[in-house]
Structure 1
Amino acid sequence: MTREGTSTLIRREDYLAPAFWIRKVELCFDLDPLKTIVTSKMQVERNAAVAHGPLKLHGEEINVLRVLINGESVSFRTEDDTLVIDNAPDADFALEIRNTCCPEKNTALSGLYTSGGSFFTQCEAEGFRRITYFLDRPDVMAVYTVLMRADKTKYPVLLSNGNLVEQGELDNNRHFAKWHDPFPKPSYLFALVAGDLVAREQRVRTRGGKDHLLQVFVRRGDLEKTEHAMNSLIASMVWDEARFKLPLDLERFMVVGVSDFNMGAMENKGLNIFNTSALLASPATSTDADFSRIESIVAHEYFHNWTGNRVTCRDWFQLSLKEGLTVFRDQEFSMDMAAAPSARAVCRIQDVRQLRAMQFPEDSGAMAHPVRPDSYVEINNFYTATVYEKGAEVVRMYQTLVGRAGFEKGMTLYFERHDGQAVTCDDFAQAMADANPGSELTKRLDAFKRWYSTPGTPRVTARGSYDAISRTYTLTLSQQNNGAAPQVIPVAMGLIGHGGQVLPLELQGEAEYHGNERVLVLDQAEQSFTFLNVFVEPVPSLLRGFSAPVLLDDGLSDADLLTLLTHDTDAFNRWEAGQRLALNRILAAVRSGTPLQLDAAYVDAMRSVLNHPQLDAAFKELALTLPGEAYIAEQLDVVDPQAIHAAVEAAQLQLAQALRADWVAAFEANGTIAGGYQPDPVSVGKRSLANLALAMLVLDTQAADAAVWQGRAYQRFKDAGNMTDRLGALAALVNGGAGLADSALERFHALFKADPLVVDKWFALQGRAPEREGRTFAKVKALLKHPDFTLKNPNRARSLIFSLCMFNPAAFHRADAAGYVFWADQVLALDAINPQVAGRLARAMDRWTTLTEPYRPAALEAIRRVAAKPDLSPDVREIVERALASGS
């Protein structure tokens, strides 16, 4: 497919095995920013199971110098980014290709490119074809040996996958390094790094008694910010070997940071390449959220060493095989690292909030697709929340249905069967079922696999009926998902009395008592479950721990929700009850078109949470944070972004005013933590609650002591000993519209202008600031001209443009359509530089058809304008064409 050509739809049902296999690859790189020479020597064999045909190799933006088979020149032709050899031998043969590429001009950051004077690669999904011609598909797995030659002064560090086997000096101040990866891998896992880097090193010994070298490479000046990443890597190694018996399998494991990167990080075998935002951390420049994110991403990429590298995807439709599974694994790791039950619950709540904010809207938008998509035009567009986060929820349901021990048995069987192979989601499902005969999963395996093929978010309706005479409670569950066949939905549940009693669960028809919590399996359109010996009318606590990625309508009243908020033993459902109480009030105001007015019962409930002596600070902060505007919009058939924003702002202000004395007490109790900075769960929770309290105290500008709290926020901003407190105070000033905000922003930039990652925070804070009379939108447009802003760095583009278009609905959705004009301008500008980043930004219009007047027609006009550009990349074209189709 060429940039100017017609987009090609690729279908899962059309999968065919390759006509040839490449078993071994020897790569030689003579590195030069403007003209890198790549020599590839491949051991190729014809696939006897596929009909005879030509050898077709993928390639983009490379210049072929020669092609040899068994040492002799061979005729070839190129067509549509494919090199074709019509008369390839039937017997095994050696294929050599020599070509050049230009890393310096590679602004797409896919393939081999330069950043900050160093060389880096990003080959997932289809970047390797920008390095040399190859069978660039995940089911072609080869053993790689890589030789690199480069100027020793400019590029003293030369890295590739696997183990270092040789290095030495060359003439003219050049040197070389040779690397060998003993494990077969697809080309998307290839990596190369060359530059002037420094490393933090640590030697560790696994449980099996093997010694390994761990290295974290960064540019000079960043080494002191790598301690947390190294500690996270060591913790990940220990956890994976303890939990799943999966040890590190190479002599060394390397992590490298780069500031120009399209993703968070990449799991290349033994040589992970990280966006510096996902690697570098220090208390002075990184927030608690940064520390948590780094720990999670380091773990995620390390866990890919087995779930993604040792066993990989047969084709890109199976992407969730590795990504959904590995997200689940990093979520489990984070919860295990949190240790305490309350901290584990906070982790789970945060994961579900992310799912609802990103994946639920995707499931109902123009780009909706199953966890295992059926087709795509550009695979880069399917690195989505559905594949990752919903995919992780599907994996979590496996564990729910077979149990923790059963899940580990399934993982063991999966690796016994498929180590070194490229496989499918069905292979994983079969291993789980076969390892757990007689389980709820095995009984329903075919039905369970519908989670991979059915788009959309199922809706579960629950209604209960209590018979006081017979002391029975009947719970009826039903499901629907746009007419699709029923899913297998595990519903973790319990019953709570209005007085807080935890009730036993004795299910009619079962001989054994199952305690106070159990999992019901809903696999029909409607099912009823009757519980015996229920001595008081219960409130059902359903979907505990968010046991399935569904929308739940349980019909509970405010009184029922208050019971769960006060008494539920499941922390997730306790939080959920508070969110539901807020959501009900916001939606009522939006639907009626009347100003929101919080009632005393809700305010008193929130006061009780804030002042509860046993609840953790982290849980309080989550419970007192209102539902996100994107999630609120998901509950509506017709969306008025300004009405939603007005209702949310009104709720925030009323909570700020009604609980002012309580916010003061919360801030004083949590605003100062003795000792040095630590990102442990207790300290993180205290800081998060203190920052929320401060934001609420600054928000009420009409309070008698408003000036006092603005002054205290500014002083905290100046004196803060860590970035979490400093940025929290700055956000309170900016989001509260305080008069000191501009001064604080200037001071912040002056303090941190030399640190790109902190400057990103500065841009992002202004891009997400609440819209007030168009000032935020005007500020963002002005910041496009700031000397520190550039479209070429993905982090910087995301910090400002994405913050406005994707995370600030009130500033983006304007009645004058200026936000949509801005979006179209930036999508087109980014597409000329970096189509992957442009494609991500294009997703801001996925749900334009739900918008009310005057937004809907203006949004359509902007989408049509982007779609009309003739040389649009496949990344953006697929998204805008699907958006247009969704409105037809």
Structure 2
Amino acid sequence: MDIARTPATPDGNPEMADAAPAPAAPPEIYRKDYRPFAWAVPATHLDFALGLEETEVTAKIEVARNPAAAPDPVLRLNGDGLELVSLAVDGAPFDGHAMDGNDLLITLPGNQHRVTIVTRVKPAENSQLMGLYASNGMLCTQCEAEGFRRITFFPDRPDVLSTYTVRMKGPKDRFPVLLSNGDRVRAGEDGATHWAEWHDPWPKPSYLFALVAGDLVALEDRFTTMTGRDVSLAIWVRADDLPRTRHAMEALKKAMRWDEEVFGREYDLGVFNIVAVGDFNMGAMENKGLNIFNTKYVLADPETATDGDYDGIEGVIAHEYFHNWSGNRVTCRDWFQLSLKEGFTVLRDQLFSQDMNSPAVKRIEDVRVLRSVQFPEDSGPLAHPIRPESFREISNFYTPTVYNKGAEVIRMMRTLAGPERFRAGTDLYFARHDGEAATCEDFVAAMEEGAGLDLARFRRWYSQAGTPRVRVEFAVADGRARLDLSQETPATPGQPVKEPVPIPLAVALHDRERNALGEERLIVLDEASASFDLGPAPQRPALSLNRGFSAPIAVEREVDPEELAYLARHDDDPFARYEAMQDLVVAHLLARAMGGEDAAGEDAIAEAFASVLGDPGIDDLMRGELMLLPGIAYLMEQVLLADPGALFTAREGLKAALGRRLSQPLASLHARASDVPFAMDASAKGARKVKSLALTLIAAADPARAAEMAATQYDGADNMTDRQGALMVLTGLPGAERTARLLDFYTRFRTNALVIDKWFSLQASSLHPQVLAHVRALADHPDFTLKNPNRVRALYMAFAGTPQGFHAPSGEGYRLIADLILALDPLNAQTAARFVPMLGRWRRIEPARAALMRGQLERIAAAPRLSRDTYEQVTRSLS
């Protein structure tokens, strides 16, 4: 389809003469203003008369005055776009109500009442995919954060906990499967219709409500808990997708067992259902007993899913299951506490994935994600603490800071306490707050008492935005090693001055002369500056710092390239070895981007890479991590004003140099890995990883040779990992090999939506010099649609990561993303708003590009009828 574009005047500025005025700013909500809701809702009964075009919802809610809140006779029930059919109180029609915007206000005279509300909603028209909506003939829900108010009028806030009984009725032919939270207690038929009733005995907030109705089949299994309870498991999908659900089921069972063994958490219902949905704004949702997943994180087989897809499914399945305790049994008091459940659960799924796979590789992967998406957020206009103080639209705070940095903050507590004391702290937290809506402070207090920690200063991690920068001075005097550290957190919006935070740092000294590895120790920098005596100094010491990435900081240190090269070859800590390699490469690339030659740096990198390629002491999974060059997003964070074009040119130049210098060992590595037969064990997965990485370096140096090798790899592939790796290289190269394999890929997988997403993404993220034109053409492809978030992300998120496309000097890449935001916002505001931060980084870009990025933000801000989601992101990016 053609993405709508705003007309422009000849000088390139938007023509705004006839534009409607910008919307009024939505109200700002502050954490300090929290008050308990005046009414408790002990029980909720929902009755759905299901239909794709129209569904009628009858809600019967029992309300009672909340003794913990200030008395208020007005019951405020949130709504969003609802048709109110009828209202009754205690069984009698009730006219004493008023509307305040979208909210329904009911004045109640007594202390306890039953309120009955009938509403109508139109699922097929719900393109926002929040509340009750239709997806390819199926009805499903998404209620986090504020979607339940699109189903019925209700106190839609996380501290109002209620037990839910749900009855659904609909035509058997259209909705043969009827699912909701909890356990099914009754079912029946009535001619062409049938019904089912579900009951969830555990009080929950409305954001955890779920309903699914559709033509589905299930992979079924069972699980016996640690106390001997039998649980029925089912993964519900469309019939054609059933063969691709086994990996997800195995991941679920592994997660259930691991949570019992590591955190002592047992599942608490008789059934656990997962449903895969093709239209979904997020990855998955942890609704109590009925998890709803994006198909991307359920369906896999070797023909259609990469090794990364398999790992992603395992991690997301585990994440949503772990929420059963860290999010469901103990939920959030208010949305400012979002990291209470998300940061904690991300840590839990990271630890699980470490135990299921390679701990070293998983840790590096998690840090790479943090640095590529969260560090830029921390240094930009959208920076916020992991526990924000205010927001205008809560959907905008499902961010890398809340999730990924939140996980790192809790990981630091675990590092300080050790695994056993950390477990004692979490046990106390779960026991103390089971069945409650808790706060981040509640978690920290439980860790203090249960783990025996003093976290008074540590609380600053929750209230301060920004990435601490630690300056390191290392010296040897009188035979002893001395470490001088200082910390500073740069100013962020609304927080010009920062206090020191406790920073746990795992360190070790290595003797370069004797190639002796030193013992690790943990030090804590909790002042603005401090000095540490590291004991007797070895011969020619090499400092291994922040081992295991023990703290989410940026380290500033002048290090001899020779020392970095040594650590890149010999450090016994996998992350520290990876970090040394990254630092070695970053220093060289920054020098090249600023016009220098740095031949010595290139020599050191090539020597370190050669060591990695030939090191028999590491497996291929780890070898692959050490072969990865720093991404452009991370490189841009290393300078005050980045020139993406110069950084891209420097990075491609280094790839070409490594491809030339290491041509033979790279070819040998590719040949060795190609001889490894397909399997799902770590050795075979590692071989597939290094095979494609070797190909990318060869392609930078010798495109013709690489095209032939990639075509051969593609043609002989018996799995998606090898096929996608080859196609990734081919998409960046001109020639017949590229065209033929792209056509073959599309023809082979045209009926599989998830694989066609890959087809779009591979082209949009390619190194091809015409990538911008390719993306424009793909937006007109018959298989592209703005109505499916997966397809939108596959094309445009992939493109936004291309420095030569998105950051094209002409500014056309910026205009392309701005056009998308304007076209997508009326259809799906939540997805549209996710694209704004790409343009919001303008202050950290060189002036010419920065002006173009800002201009596109101003064009979006001036558009009429922007959603709250997009309006907040744009105005914060400009302010």
Structure-1-length-normalised TM-score: 0.94
Distance change in 2, residues 1:196/1:500 (3 Å):
farther
Of the structure 1 ranges 542-551 and 810-819, higher mean CA displacement relative to structure 2 is found in 810-819
Distance apart, 1:52 and its partner CA: 2.4
Deviation at 1:464?
Answer: 1.4
CA distance in 2, matches of 1:261, 1:532: 55
Q: Give the whole-Å Cα distance in 2 for the aligned partners of 1:242 and 1:200.
A: 25
| Counterparts of residues 548-627 of structure 1 (less than 5 Å) | 548-592=551-595, 599-627=602-630
For 1:460-539, list aligned pairs within 5 A: 460-467=470-477, 470-482=478-490, 483-499=497-513, 501-502=515-516, 516-539=519-542
Q: What is the count of residue pairs matched by the alignment?
A: 850
Query: CA offsets, 1:653-673, max 9 Å, x none?
Result: 111111100111101111132
1:811 counterpart SS class = coil
Matched, 1:71 2:86: no
Residue pair 2:73, 2:109 contacting (<8 A) in 1 also? no
For 1:147, the equivalent position in structure 2 comes to 167
Letter in 1 for 2:487: Q
The alpha carbon displacement at 1:597 in A equals: 8.7
CA apart distance, 1:860: 1.3
CA distance, structure 1, for counterparts of residue 665 and residue 675 of structure 2:
17
What secondary structure sits across from 1:632 in the alignment? helix
Aligned counterpart in structure 2 of residue 294 of structure 1, from 313, 333, 336: 313
Give the Cα separation in 2 of the matches to 1:535 and 1:751: 60
Looking at structure 1, the residues matched to 215 and 447 of structure 2 have their Cα atoms a distance apart, in angstroms, of: 46
1:322 equivalent in alignment to 2:322:
no
**Residue aligned with 1:140, SS:** coil
Give 3-state SS (helix, strand or coil) of 2:240's partner. coil
Shift of 1:596: 8.2
CA contact (8 A) 2:562 2:604 kept: no
SS at match of 1:802: helix
Matches within 5 A, 1:299-448: 299-338=318-357, 343-437=358-452, 442-443=453-454, 445-448=455-458
- The answer to whether 1:250 aligns with 2:258 is no
Counterpart residue number, 2:493: none
Asked if 1 retains the 8 angstrom alpha-carbon contact of 2:840 and 2:878, the reply is: no
- CA pair 733-597 structure 1, distance change in 2 beyond 3 A: farther
Q: Distance in 2 between matches of 1:347 and 1:523?
A: 28
Match of 1:719 in 2: 716
- Contact 1:699-1:737 within 8 A present in 2 as well: no
Please say if residues 695 and 736 of structure 1, whose CA atoms lie closer than 8 Å, have aligned partners that are also in contact: no
CA distance in 2, matches of 1:716, 1:544: 37
Confirm whether residue 81 of structure 1 aligns to residue 75 of structure 2: no
Question: Could you tell me how far apart the structure 1 residues matched to 2:517 and 2:586 are?
Answer: 28
Task: State, as a whole percentage, how many aligned pairs show the same letter.
Answer: 44
Task: Report the counterpart of residue 512 of structure 1 in structure 2.
Answer: none
Q: 1:846 aligns with which of 837, 840, 843?
A: 840
Question: In structure 2, what residue type is equivalent to 1:455?
Answer: A
Runs of 4+ more than 3 Å apart: 3-6, 500-504, 592-598, 736-739
* Structure 1 residue corresponding to 2:210, chosen from 191, 214, 229: 191
Separation of aligned partners in 1, 2:741 and 2:535:
62
Aligned to 1:784: 779
Inter-partner Cα distance in structure 1 for 2:382 and 2:666: 42
Look up the equivalent residue of 1:529 and give its one-letter code. Answer: F
Q: 2:762 aligned with 1:761, yes or no?
A: no
In 2, are the aligned partners of 1:141 and 1:187 still within 8 Å (CA)? yes
Distance 1:531 1:395 in 2: 27
Question: Helix, strand or coil: the match of 1:854?
Answer: helix
- Confirm or deny: 8 A CA contact 2:746 2:756 kept in the other structure: yes
Which amino acid in 2 is paired with 1:798? R
- 8 Å contact kept, 1:500–1:563: no
Deviation at 1:410, TM superposition (A): 0.6
CA contact (8 A) 2:504 2:523 kept: yes
Encode CA deviations 1:774-803: one digit per residue, 9 max, x unaligned: x11001001111010001000000000111
**Map of 2:4 onto structure 1:** none
Please, which moves more after superposition, 681-690 or 360-369? 681-690
Instruction: Note if contact 1:107-1:833 (Cα within 8 Å) is conserved in structure 2.
Output: yes
Query: 115, 136, 141: which one pairs with 2:135?
Result: 115
Counterparts of 1:4 and 1:460, CA distance in 2: 42
TM normalised by structure 2 equals 0.95
After TM superposition, give the deviation of residue 710 of structure 1 in Å.
Answer: 2.5
- What does residue 744 of structure 1 align with? 741
Q: CA 1:39/1:642 → structure 2, altered by over 3 Å: closer, same or farther?
A: same
The range that moved more, 786-795 or 71-80, is 71-80
Q: Report the AA paired with residue 489 of structure 2.
A: N
156, 165, 170: which one aligns with 2:185: 165
Cα distance in 1 for partners of 2:698, 2:545 equals 35
Question: Where does structure 2 lack aligned partners over 5 or more consecutive residues?
Answer: 1-21, 491-496
Counterpart of 2:679, as a letter, is Y
Q: Distance in 1 between matches of 2:214 and 2:382?
A: 39
* 2:804 counterpart residue number: 810
Q: Which amino acid aligns with 1:760?
A: D
- SS of equivalent residue, structure 1 residue 792: coil
User: What is the CA-CA distance between 1:99 and the residue it aligns to?
Assistant: 0.7
CA separation in 2, counterparts of 1:143 and 1:620?
51
Aligned residue for 1:435, secondary structure, equals helix
**Of 275, 293, 300, which aligns to 2:294?**
275
Partner of 1:513: none
d(CA) in 2 for partners of 1:51 and 1:660? 76
Deviation at 1:303, TM superposition (A): 0.2
Is this contact kept in 1: 2:584–2:601, CA < 8 A? no
1:47 maps to a residue whose letter is N
1:113 aligned counterpart, secondary structure: strand
**Alpha carbons 2:470, 2:553 under 8 Å: kept:** yes
8 Å Cα contact 2:83/2:119 also seen in 1:
yes
Match of 2:223, SS state, is strand
**Contact 1:287 1:723 (8 Å CA) reproduced:** yes
Aligned partners of 2:759 and 2:624: how far apart in 1? Answer: 23
- Unmatched 5+ stretches in structure 1: 505-515
Paired residues of 1:300 and 1:326 also in contact (CA < 8 A): yes
Q: Is contact 2:344–2:410 with CA below 8 Å preserved after alignment? A: yes
Secondary structure, aligned partner of 1:446:
coil
Q: Given that residues 466 and 537 in structure 1 are in contact (C-alpha distance below 8 angstroms), is that contact kept between their aligned partners in structure 2?
A: no
User: Structure 1 residues 501 and 663, CA, compared in 2 at 3 Å: closer, same or farther?
Assistant: closer
Select the residue among 410, 435, 453 that pairs with 2:463: 453
Give the letter aligned to residue 399 of structure 2: T
Q: Is the 8 A contact 1:27 1:144 kept in 2?
A: yes
Q: How far did residue 695 of structure 1 move?
A: 2.4
Q: What amino acid is the match of 1:402? A: A
The structure showing larger relative contact order (alpha-carbon pairs under 8 Å, at least 6 residues apart) is 2
Equivalent pair of 1:66/1:99 in contact (CA under 8 Å): yes
**Amino acid aligned to 2:325:** W
Structure 2 residue corresponding to 1:38, chosen from 46, 57, 81: 57
SS in 2 for 1:566: helix
